[in-house]
Copies of this chain bind each other. A is one copy, B any other.
């Protein structure tokens, strides 16, 4: 394999740039030509493809976002779109791909591989950490720390005013961010999609807190909680609290996607980028590089998309014990 390309797709995540850098410098190290595809599948179809070298990725390891940009592509969902994409790669002699992204990215990559057999290896880049085949995804540690920093700030004002705050964090189908920053933020309760934490349980915890003279409380809510988002949940709970409680709601939103990546994310991104590249060069295809128990592993795209990674039960137990 003498010529490869790399692209980012789906929601951006801090550390994607560190991953791109590792892939590019790894390719240079192994004597392979490397290209960057701009705006994911969109750029693949349009031929928005540029050569990269060691200096192209200087001074980006610490930057949030992705220098290759990202976009959704409806056209790639059609056979005609994929044909165009293939022709663009073919005409440039690109023999292999590294795809950085999440569920949607790998769904596209699997279809494309099955049709055109261009070897593709993925690197998991998504703040949600909801991909099977890796203990951690690139961007997750940064997103958790960003949300945690926000929770610490809100705790200051919650304490000063004896308030209950419902804080909504990202995670449409997954409570990973919520559970981690719930524990780290000292939350009284955490509501996540994976777990039936009915409103009545949260009410009970809050009431117990007040009876022990806790004057402020934090409830972290994953955006995808089955009970509805933070605003709705807060409204329900307000009704069930006897005494008059001052309840506020904050939705952290897109700040969780940006910012300089943490050390953990930069190292994970470097390792997974290099792992994806070297896997590709060794003949891996249609798989995602991941880290499980500190070891590099490759999991078929199909499994990463269809299998579900559970949230550890002991984390839920910890929230419960530590809020006594």
Interface residues of A (CB under 8 A from B): 8, 12, 14, 18, 21-22, 25-26, 28-29, 54-55, 58-59, 61-66, 69-71, 135, 141, 144-146, 148, 150, 152-157, 159-162, 165, 180-181, 183-186, 212-214, 248, 250-255, 257-260, 262-264, 266-267, 270-271, 274, 293-294, 314-315, 318, 321-324
SS of A interface (majority): helix
- Distance of A210 from chain B, by nearest CB (Å): 13
* Interface contact B251-A152, CB-CB below 8 Å: no
Q: A169: shortest Cβ distance to chain B, in Å?
A: 12
Chain B proximity of A232: nearest CB distance (Å): 16
Quick one: closest B residue to A259, CB to CB?
B153
Q: Which residues of B contact A186 (CB under 8 A)?
A: 21, 59, 61-62
Chain B residue with the shortest CB-CB distance to A143: B263
Closest B residue to A69 using CB positions: B160
Q: Which of B26, B64, B159, B214 contacts A65 (CB 8 A)?
A: B159
Residue of chain B at shortest CB distance from A260:
B152
Contact in complex: B156, A63 (CB < 8 Å): yes
| Residues of B contacting A293 in the complex (Cβ-Cβ under 8 angstroms) | 293-294
